[in-house]
Every structure is written in C-alpha cells, then in structure tokens.
Amino acid sequence: MQVIEDKISFVTANFVGRALDYSLKPFNWGEADEATQHLFHGDSFEEEFSEIMRIISDAGFKTIELWVAHLNYNRATQEQIQKAKQILKSFNLSVCSYAGGFGNSEEEVEKSFQLAQAMGAKVLAGSLNEKLLEKAYSLCQEHKIRLAFENHPDRETPEKIKELIGDREDWFGACVDTGWFATFNIDASEAVRELGKSVFHVHLKDIKAAGAHETCALGDGIVNIPAVISALREIGYDGYLSIEHEPEYHDPMQDIKKSLSRLREWLRE
C-alpha cells in the first residue's frame, strides 16, 4: 500500500457537536445531526460551510469525506451544491466519499447517489435500508460509485458485512471503522484481513476502551493503528484513510492534528 498525502481524508462528521457548540448534554447523535442539518441548509450555509472547510484546509488536509448532515440529499438545493463545490475548490479540497445513512426509500437513496456524483465522490460509506440493496446495486452501476457498508452496531462483524455484500462484490464492499471494531472487542487488523479485497474504504478511529465508543486521537486509545496499516498493506488496499474522531463535548481539531501527524509517521515506516 502506497498512501500519499492526498489519500488521507477528514471526516466532516468529526464536527457532529459543533452546531450546538458542544453543549448538548446528554449527547444525542440524532439531535446533533438535525441541528447540523438545520444550520447548514439555511441562510448561513455559505458562511458555515466555508468556515469548516477553512479549518480542515488549515489543518493540512486536501481531501474530505462529506457527512450527509453537512450537505443533505433531501435538503440541499442545487444552488447550495454548486456553492459547496466552489468553496471546496477555493480551499483546494476534494471529496473522496459521501458518508452517513443514505435513506429509507428508493427516492432517497437515488438522491444520495446523485449528490455524491455531483460532489465527485467515488464511494458511499455508511448504511441504508436493507430493503433497498437491489436498488442501490443498480445505482452503483449507473453512477459508477461504490457502496461500502460500515461496521456499526447490528452489522458489527466482518461476517455480517459479507452478508450485505453477498455476490455483489464488484460494487458493494466494506467501510472499515477501526473504532467500532474495537468497541465490540474485535481486532481491527484481523477484520481487515478477513474482509480482504472487500475493503473499499477505511475510517481510522481510536477509542479509549472496549464496550463503549469514546473516541480519541489516533494512538491515544486501544486500537493498534500501525497493525491496521500493516494489514491494509497485506491486502493491497490503495484507497483512502479517513481520520475520524467525534468528541461530544469539545472541538476535535487539536486531536485531529495530532492524529494526522502520527498517521504520516506510521505510513513512512
């Protein structure tokens, strides 16, 4: 695996708590998601989108993984989509993937693919209603975009991801989230080896302890990120490595910068 700097990306869901100024206690992902959508699809869209892209660019990233709450397939206008593309270009940023949940109807999943294509994403990384798998498979072929299922709860093992992929491995694959594997006490590097060529995308995430999902800077938790990198090299992975860290009550950027520096060092080894 030869990963160069433009194959490291920033997951914009790292800012999940930002719309509410990291003050939502107890934290609820759904509420934070809705607050983000509300903030980013109104009159302040250009200002807010520009600000987070400036922060990401200043941290040294060239690529983002765009979270659906920041440009939502159901809510974003064509004007907002075009403005987002202009803002990204102004900060020399590109989109490698569109991340999150992609809908509960054929119309919603089709809108997801259309928005991903408009933004230049080559992968949808996340989940959708399993009743829509056949529709999604046809949309993958139509839009030339791959769908990578993430190992969130209820699909937390490599075996469950393989069941979703089925015999559609040309367009369906896995989005490995190292932190979620660790939450369920699964060795992420072994999971990578088990999934093999099915790995289409990677979320590098560290957590403080198994059994919970408190994220932290890469290298500060229990996930052996260098071992994951070694496993990715073994399977010949040449896709993106998305740094993911979603603290609920504070800004993630100090930890993200630390993670980026450490990841660059590990990739040189």
Domain boundary assignment for the chain: 5-268
Share of the chain above pLDDT 70, in %: 98
Helix 45-58 vs helix 29-40: crossing angle, to nearest 10: 110
pTM for the model stands at 0.96
Q: For residue 6, is pLDDT > 90? A: no
Q: For residue 4, is pLDDT > 80? A: no
Q: For residue 2, is pLDDT > 70? A: no
Q: For residue 5, is pLDDT > 80? A: no
Residue 145 has a pLDDT of 98
Instruction: Quote the strand ranges of the chain, DSSP E.
Output: 8-11, 63-67, 94-101, 123-127, 146-150, 172-177, 199-204, 206-207, 215-216, 241-243
Q: Does domain 5-268 have CATH number 3.20.20.150?
A: yes
Pick the residue with more confidence: 155 or 5? 155
Question: What number is the average pLDDT over the span 246-261?
Answer: 98
Instruction: Give the model confidence (pLDDT) of 89-112 as tens digits.
Output: 999 999 999 999 999 999 999 999
Backbone angles phi, psi at 139, to 5 degrees: -70, -35
Question: What number is the average pLDDT over the span 159-184?
Answer: 98
Q: For residue 266, is pLDDT > 90? A: yes
Question: What number is the average pLDDT over the span 177-203?
Answer: 98
Residue 63 has a pLDDT of 97
Residue 269 has a pLDDT of 85
Backbone angles phi, psi at 140, to 5 degrees: -55, -45
Residue 1 has a pLDDT of 46
Of 117, 109, 111, nearest in space to 85 by CA: 117
Instruction: Give the model confidence (pLDDT) of 197-249 as tens digits.
Output: 999 999 999 999 999 999 999 999 999 999 999 999 999 999 999 999 999 99
173: amino acid identity, one letter? G
Residue 78 has a pLDDT of 97
Residue 209 tokens read as: 């302890």
CA distances from 95 to 92, 189, 196, 212, 216 (A): 10, 26, 24, 30, 24
Instruction: Give the model confidence (pLDDT) of 107-154 as tens digits.
Output: 999 999 999 999 999 999 999 999 999 999 999 999 999 999 999 999
